[in-house]
Amino acid sequence: MLGLVKEAVNRLIEGLGDRVVAVALFGSLARSESSERSDIDLLVVVRGMRRGMERRFTIYDIVHKMVRRDVTIIDVDEEELFKEDIEVPPLLINIAWDALVLHDPSGRLSQLFERVRTIVNKLNLDRYKTQDGKYGWKSSKPGRLKPVEV
């Protein structure tokens, strides 16, 4: 399945050109926990595309035609993801932790993910899995977590 996802990313780049800044696979397939029923989870960093359902559907349509499986697309503008004062929500921590970067010519997505992983380690955060198969984070040290710069 990973080979098919890589082909889908290549098609996405062929179709949208340099508007596709970076792509990362995350979720069960990236963690090698997928089954035949698992969806494909992709973070797609874009530029020059109006935010909204049309953008997401355009990306989804190209990928879905290749993988023929449910696809979850998280599409984000490059200026939002790569800004100086980004707040990193738990979803982005999970994505960074699991990610297989499939397209990142500038290296900025890989650098961001590495910075997030470093912060997770510095904060002594432990990842846990809930009974329903979701993942979360908790501090292994008592006390309140404080915001840190990524």
Measured CA to CA in angstroms, residue 99 lies from 25, 56, 140 at distances of 6, 20, 23
What's the pLDDT score for residue 5?
95
Nearest to 135 by CA among 11, 4, 5, 41: 41
What's phi and psi for 41, nearest 5 deg?
Answer: -110, 120
Say how many CA atoms lie within 13 Å of 91 toward its Cβ: 7
Tell me: pLDDT of 6 over 50: yes
Mind listing the pLDDT tens digit for each residue in 103-120?
999 999 999 999 999 988
**Confidence grade of residue 150 (pLDDT, cut at 50, 70, 90):** very low
What's the pLDDT score for residue 124?
87
Does pTM surpass 0.75? yes
Cα Dmax for the chain = 49
Mind listing the pLDDT tens digit for each residue in 22-42?
999 999 899 998 888 889 999
What's the pLDDT score for residue 143?
61
Mind listing the pLDDT tens digit for each residue in 86-105?
888 888 999 999 999 999 99
| Assigned CATH topology for domain 2-139 | Beta Polymerase; domain 2 (3.30.460)
As a whole-number percent, the residues of the chain with pLDDT over 70 amount to: 94
For residues 48-72, average pLDDT: 94
Say how many CA atoms lie within 13 Å of 8 toward its Cβ: 26
CB atoms within 10 A of CB 141: 9
* Domain segments of the chain as ranges: 2-139
Chain centroid, CA 149 distance in Å:
19
CA pair distance 83, 49, nearest whole angstrom: 17
